[in-house]
Amino acid sequence: MLRRVWAIFVARNREFMRDRASLAWNLILPVALVFGLSFAFDGQRDEYTVGVLQDEALIDTSRHPFLDTRFVQFVPYRDTDEALLKVERHQLDMLLDPGPPVRYWINPEAAKGYFIEFALLQSAAGNPEAVVKQQIAGDPIRYSDWVLPGILGMNMMFSCLFGVGYVIVRYRKNGFLKRLRATPLTALEFIMAQVASRMLLIMLITSFVYTGTHLLLDTRMEGSYLTLFVVGLVGAISMVSLGLIVSARVTSEELAGGLLNMINWPMMMLSGVWFSLEGTGRVMHAISQIFPLTHVLDSARAVMLDGATFLDVAPALGALTVQSALFLAIGAAIFRWERF
């Protein structure tokens, strides 16, 4: 069994390495995106964002006049420590506890915090003594620090889904799978070889891209590199397994491309690749938890930006493992060697 899996594994790796265009695309695109977005958006955030300490999901503007201020996004927080960390890192311009008594925290080094404080004090002009100010210091998280995991995850997603899903459909269409069926190779062995091959290539490419951008842009890394690698590895397995479901029976490359894009784009938009989902509704958060990419990006950012340990990201890794097992089981069960 292992010899058969190894033979398919080696053959797929050689096929990919000989496709110089695909290899170059997987290396150049994420690097170009990180540098371009870093140059364009680092230090820029147009809207004022204020965290509000409360248990409810909706902001009650009647609690304080400031909560009805225009052009300010108010985001509810239950965890004070989490919200204070975001103020420290300039991700929130202010944290407000409507009280009573009314308290607020700002970072004195944050320009937007300086101006949003004026708006708060103006709303309490009749009784400024009732507002208690507290300061918290810290360095900002640049957009390049935040978006790097998203771009790496997006590149991983496209490579995993199209690198397996599209390729297997092509194999079935040109009769390659039909010839393999005449060998002792089983569907599970073929799938295992495809998963292992794509996982190896993706991890090598992702590690190379991350190392280069990290060294050149000096991006933040608070946690363990080993934990980050494990997050990427488990995530890659999950997304490759998802691609196998699409390719298990489809015979048309056009249909496969459409189905894969139908998975890719919602996952990319709702998993937090380009922007944070903070402030969105509970329904949006619930939908985002369906996608493997959401768990990968949340875990990677927790490790890189917050110094999360393996135990901290273990629940997300568990969810990815369950998804992988489910996707593999479905893919192996419905796999078809021939076109008809």
% of the chain at pLDDT higher than 70: 81
Q: How many residues does the chain have?
A: 340
Beta bridge partners of 95: 51, 105
Using CA atoms, how far apart are residues 131 and 119, in angstroms rounded to an integer? 12
pLDDT digits (tens, 9 = 90+) for 133-167: 887 776 667 777 778 888 888 888 888 887 777 77
Name the one residue in this structure whose structure tokens are 């794509």. 198
pLDDT digits (tens, 9 = 90+) for 43-101: 444 578 888 988 887 888 888 888 888 888 888 888 888 888 888 877 788 898 887 78
Q: What angle (nearest 5°) sits at the alpha carbon of residue 254, between those of residues 250 and 258?
A: 85
Whole-number CA gyration radius for the chain = 24
Using CA atoms, how far apart are residues 129 and 85, in angstroms rounded to an integer? 26
CB 236 within 8 A of CB 202: yes
Domains located in the chain, CATH noted: 2-40+142-334 (no CATH), 48-135 (3.40.190)
Name the one residue in this structure whose structure tokens are 């690097």. 31
The model carries a pTM of 0.70
DSSP track, 61-74? GGG-GGGG-TTEEE
